[in-house]
Amino acid sequence: MMINHSSSSVLPKDFSFIKNLSQRNFVGKGTYCNKFREKLSHTTGRCECILTNNGSEALQISLYVLRTMNPKCKNVAVSGYVCPTVVSAIYREGLKPLFLDVLPDSMGISMESAHDRIDESTLALICTNTGGFPDEYSKTQKLPCPVISDCAQAIGSKFNGRSITEYGLVTILSFGPTKMLTAGTGGALLIDDRNMYELAMKYSAGEMDVEYYMRNGFLTTFGQHFSDLNAGLGLSQLKRFESFILKRRSIAQKYTDVLRSNGEVNLPSHSLDATPNFYRYYFFSDQANQWLDFLRYGGVDARSSISHNMSEYFPHSDQMPNLIKNSNRIISLPIYPSFSRGEINKVVKMLQKGLDSGLR
Class of the domain covering 15-239: alpha beta
Axis crossing angle, helix 31-44 with helix 228-239, rounded to the nearest 10: 40
Strand 187-191: give its sheet, edge to edge.
48-52, 187-191, 170-174, 147-150, 122-127, 75-79, 96-100
**Mean of all residue pLDDT scores within the chain:** 95
| Segment 332-347, tens digit of pLDDT | 999 999 999 999 999 9
Tell me the C-alpha distance between 21 and 175, whole Å.
Answer: 20
Nearest to 176 by CA among 18, 52, 33: 52
Tell me the C-alpha distance between 346 and 341, whole Å.
Answer: 9
Predicted confidence at residue 264, as pLDDT, reads: 75
Stretch 182-207: mean pLDDT: 96
Reported residue count of the chain is: 360
DSSP per-residue codes, 241-296: HHHHHHHHHHHHHHHHHHHTTSTTSBPPP--TTEE---SSEEEE-TTHHHHHHHHH
pLDDT grade for 285, boundaries at 50, 70 and 90:
very high
Residue 63 has pLDDT above 90, yes or no: yes
Predicted confidence at residue 317, as pLDDT, reads: 66
C-alpha distance from residue 186 to each of 6, 114, 153, 325 (Å): 18, 30, 14, 34
Element (H, E) at 77: strand 75-79
Domain(s) of CATH 3.40.640.10: residues in the chain: 15-239
pLDDT grade for 272, boundaries at 50, 70 and 90:
confident
C-alpha distance from residue 298 to each of 4, 288, 350 (Å): 12, 15, 7
Stretch 226-235: mean pLDDT: 97
Stretch 141-164: mean pLDDT: 96
β-strands 48-52, 274-275 pairing: unpaired
Predicted confidence at residue 105, as pLDDT, reads: 95
Domain(s) of CATH 3.90.1150.10: residues in the chain: 241-356
Predicted confidence at residue 42, as pLDDT, reads: 96
Residue 271 has pLDDT above 90, yes or no: no
Nearest to 230 by CA among 43, 14, 56, 24: 14
Q: What is the pTM of this model?
A: 0.95
Helix (H, G, I), strand (E, B) or coil at 102: strand
Predicted confidence at residue 261, as pLDDT, reads: 85
Residue 255 has pLDDT above 90, yes or no: yes
Specify the CATH number of the domain 241-356: 3.90.1150.10
Predicted confidence at residue 265, as pLDDT, reads: 82
Nearest to 189 by CA among 281, 54, 79: 54
Tell me the C-alpha distance between 167 and 79, whole Å.
Answer: 17
Predicted confidence at residue 263, as pLDDT, reads: 73
Stretch 161-174: mean pLDDT: 97
pLDDT grade for 316, boundaries at 50, 70 and 90:
confident
